[in-house]
Amino acid sequence: MNTTTIQQNIIEDFEILEDDFEMTLNYLMELGEKLEEYEEKNKTDENIVKGCQSKVWLSYESKDGKLFFSGDSNTSITKGLLSLLIKVFSGQTPKDILDTKLFFINKTGLCRFIGTQRSNGLEAMENKFKVIALSSK
């Protein structure tokens, strides 16, 4: 599935919540809780996403020309946002990751939860995915 379709599916999932702030926030945190367990040994300086106020770790493996990501964060909302980015980018080729423009954040209303600090962190997370993709080309 391409990144545009994945983002459209995410938007559809959030539309069910009908802009209910509390339900949206709870759903976002639930998504973070559903991330695969991130091993402590991967919580290294090399895997940390710089520029995030929260602690965020991101690692990957390459299989058959596609990148597969795993990650973690020490805060629930950031972990939920990270889980959505992993959903969009994991299983894609480096070129597809580099060509992807994220639009689901605004379309889902998640931008309401993202103040200046989280906005910088979200950009830092997106950039880390793209840097990994660029180095894997």
Q: Where are the domains of the chain?
A: 3-136
Question: What band does 88 get if pLDDT is binned at 50, 70 and 90?
Answer: very high
pLDDT average, residue stretch 29-55: 94
Q: How far is residue 97's CA from residue 85's CA, in Å, rounded to a whole number?
A: 11
Q: What is the pLDDT of residue 51?
A: 87
Q: What is the pLDDT of residue 110?
A: 82
- % residues pLDDT > 90 (the chain): 74
- Catalytically active residues are 52
DSSP string, 77-121: HHHHHHHHHHHHHTTB-HHHHHH----HHHHHTGGGG--HHHHHH
State both tokens at 15. 């539309």
> Options 3.30.540.10, 3.90.1010.10, 3.20.20.70, 3.50.50.60; which CATH number does 3-136 get?
3.90.1010.10
Q: What is the pLDDT of residue 46?
A: 94
Dump pLDDT digits (tens) for 105-126. Answer: 888 878 776 765 567 788 999 9
